[in-house]
Amino acid sequence: MIEKLTQLEKRYCELETLLGSPEIASHPEQYQKYAKEHSSLREIVEKFREYRKMAMEIQDLEEMLKRRDQEPDIACMAESELREIRKRHQECEAALEEMLIGEEPDSNKDVIMEIRAGTGGLEASLFAAELFRMYSRYAASQGWKVETLATSLSEAGGFKEIVFSISGNGVYRRLKYESGVHRVQRVPVTEASGRVHTSTVTVAVLPEAEEVDIKINPEDVRIDVFRSSGPGGQSVNTTDSAVRLTHIPTGLVVTCQDERSQLKNKNRAFRVLRTRLMDTARQQQEEKMANQRRSQIGTGDRSEKIRTYNFADRRITDHRIGFSLHNLSAYLEGEMEEMIQALLKVEKEKKLKQS
């Protein structure tokens, strides 16, 4: 543990030096990346320094106790203080262990989320739009930035599919549990007889890949441009601004057409393609690591039913941890923190037990 913490502290100091460099300050994107990494390490590094300081104090007090015969009064005080500081030192060590256990390589990454309507037709597309609004509201409450990358509208005004990014500190760590099938039980607005319908929406949360994470050979990608068929005004529909990327080795296809600029659509499409390629590689790696997969709370499996939104009971239930809330309206307005904290707590307990 000490070796790992020492490495993190060394990286923290390196980042402080980089952030003070005029060369880095002149490149906003690079500066922001380093500042984000520096911020994510601050808490654990400060806790480690506190732990190390207490260890030195314990050592000094133990030296005092060795002089018990010469200085009995001081030794008595040192003994009392030593009991207290040893207790705090153990608590600090336990806190550091939890921090390390909870640390994942992608925990502080931005994410690309994909929401797709499943069974339920138009009703599913309407609920997909509600989930997008929910995540957008939650992101705003955390000070995160949301950017829509690609959309496909349904006749009812919902989304057949929407792809968007969320950027900020600790985004993937808090939203990774949203991957899976979300089931809604309610009377659709289109239902004249008042019968309750069950519809599903699939959510995928992918840690966003950067160019340094995934190198794409230009020869492996076919780029097609065409006229947008979606909303956006006359210029969108009369110019070849839409972009479709086909990754030939894997067959992955990404289409972006929401922007009027072909270049912007192309850049967005490559962001999504890089992220999907990294996710494919991560899924393959995790399949090989069966024990790690079993220790997780079902994250990553798109076919797994993870949550039910029951409008009649105003209830949200997460089936992976058997946890329910009865504040559906507020939850859909982005008040998701209690559910996220419950998921974080269960995963931490599982990792501690496994370790």
Task: From 230, 263, 286, give the residue that closes a domain.
Answer: 286
Are 188 and 197 in contact by the 8 Å Cβ rule? The answer is: yes
Residue 9 lies in a domain: yes
At 87, which helix (H) or strand (E)? helix 72-102
Are 31 and 19 in contact by the 8 Å Cβ rule? The answer is: yes
Report the amino acid identity of residue 160.
K
Task: From 102, 120, 149, give the residue that closes a domain.
Answer: 102
d(Cα 146, Cα 135) in Å, to the nearest integer?
9
What range defines the domain where residue 275 resides? 218-286
DSSP 8-state class, residue 178: G
How many domains in the chain? 3
Backbone angles phi, psi at 122, to 5 degrees: -65, -35
Tokens (6 digits) for 201: 């929406």
* Buried/exposed 326-346: b ≥16 CB within 10 Å, e otherwise: eebeebbebbbeebbebbeeb
Residue 5 CA, chain-centre distance (Å), reads: 23
Residue 196 lies in a domain: yes
Residues 313, 182 share a domain: yes
Q: Which residue has the tokens 């070796």?
A: 3
Report the amino acid identity of residue 284.
Q
> What pLDDT score was predicted for residue 240?
77
Residues 77, 34 share a domain: yes
Residue 82 lies in a domain: yes
Residues 9, 76 share a domain: yes
pTM of the complete model: 0.65
Task: From 70, 102, 134, give the residue that closes a domain.
Answer: 102
Residues 64, 41 share a domain: yes
Residues 180, 37 share a domain: no
Residues 315, 186 share a domain: yes
Residues 79, 115 share a domain: no
For the chain of 355 residues, list the mean pLDDT of each consecutive stretch of 10. 87 92 88 88 92 91 76 73 88 82 73 92 93 97 94 90 92 92 88 82 89 78 81 53 89 86 88 86 65 49 81 95 96 96 87 66
Residues 137, 86 share a domain: no
Residues 89, 125 share a domain: no
> What pLDDT score was predicted for residue 78?
76
Residues 203, 326 share a domain: yes
Q: Is residue 176 classed exposed, middle or buried when 0-12, 13-18 and 19+ CB atoms within 10 A define those classes?
A: buried
Tokens (6 digits) for 90: 């153990």
Residues 234, 116 share a domain: no
Residues 340, 234 share a domain: no
Tokens (6 digits) for 263: 């270049």
Kind of pairing between the strands at 305-310 and 180-186: parallel
d(Cα 297, Cα 41) in Å, to the nearest integer?
25
User: Nearest to residue 237, comparing CAs of 245, 222, 226?
Assistant: 226
